[in-house]
Amino acid sequence: MSCGQWDEEIALWAGGDSVGEEFLAHLQGCGRCQRELAEMRVARAEWADWTPRKRRGASWWWGVAAAVPLLLWVGWPRPVEVEVLALAMPAAPGVPAYVPVARMPVMKKALRREPAATMKILTDDPDVVILLLGDAE
């Protein structure tokens, strides 16, 4: 029996459709049909399998692992201290509270402070970027 006449069964079996015992027995001992089946499955995935493909490359865990020594070197980022002024002066009824911008110098100063050490670690996954923020003091 020539292998070519199993092509329809290969196409069916690749998509999970039932096939006869005779074909399955042939498939077990035939390298050509096994290759054809594998190729048909790969081809079918192109139109039938819509799961976004996984990117190749290291997983994001490698990025985390690589970041540990850097964290130790830079030092664990300390939170920026923000002094909040008590501005809760009750306004007169019906008069909107007016707080001039110049009255909030401490807040402005605190918000202006930028971390001195900012390090960006790119990983193999373009969606995973590790930012390390250090304090100036």
Partner 1 sequence: MRTLLADSFEQIVAAQQPRVLAICRRLLGETGEAEEAAQDTFLKLHRCWSQIEGDPGPWLYRTAVNTCLDRRRGPRRSVELVEMADRRRGPAELAEIAQRWARVKRALEQLPERERAAITLRDIEGLETREVAKLLEITEGTVRSQIASARMKLRRLV
Sign of CA dihedral 9, 15, 21, 23: positive
Q: Which is nearer to Zn ion, 32 or 55 (CB)?
A: 32
Which of 10, 14, 33, 132 touches Zn ion by CB under 5 A? Answer: 33
Q: Which of residues 40-59 bind Zn ion (CB under 5 A)?
A: none
How many residues sit in the footprint of Zn ion (CB under 5 A)? Answer: 4
Q: Which is nearer to partner 1, 28 or 51 (CB)?
A: 51
Amino acid, single-letter form, for residue 3: C
Which of 3, 42, 45, 85 touches Zn ion by CB under 5 A? Answer: 3
- Range 82-112 burial, b when 16+ CB lie within 10 A, else e: eeeeeeeeeeeeeeeeeeeeeeeeeeeeeee
- Nearest C-alpha neighbor of 75 from the set 132, 11, 126: 132
Task: Tell me which H or E stretch contains 133.
Answer: strand 129-134
Closest CB 4 distance from Zn ion, rounded Å: 9
Q: Residues interacting with partner 1, by CB under 8 A?
A: 7-9, 11-12, 14-15, 17, 39-40, 43-44, 46-48, 50-53, 126-127
Residue 30 binds Zn ion, judged by CB under 5 A? yes
Closest CB 92 distance from partner 1, rounded Å: 47
Task: Tell me which H or E stretch contains 72.
Answer: helix 60-74
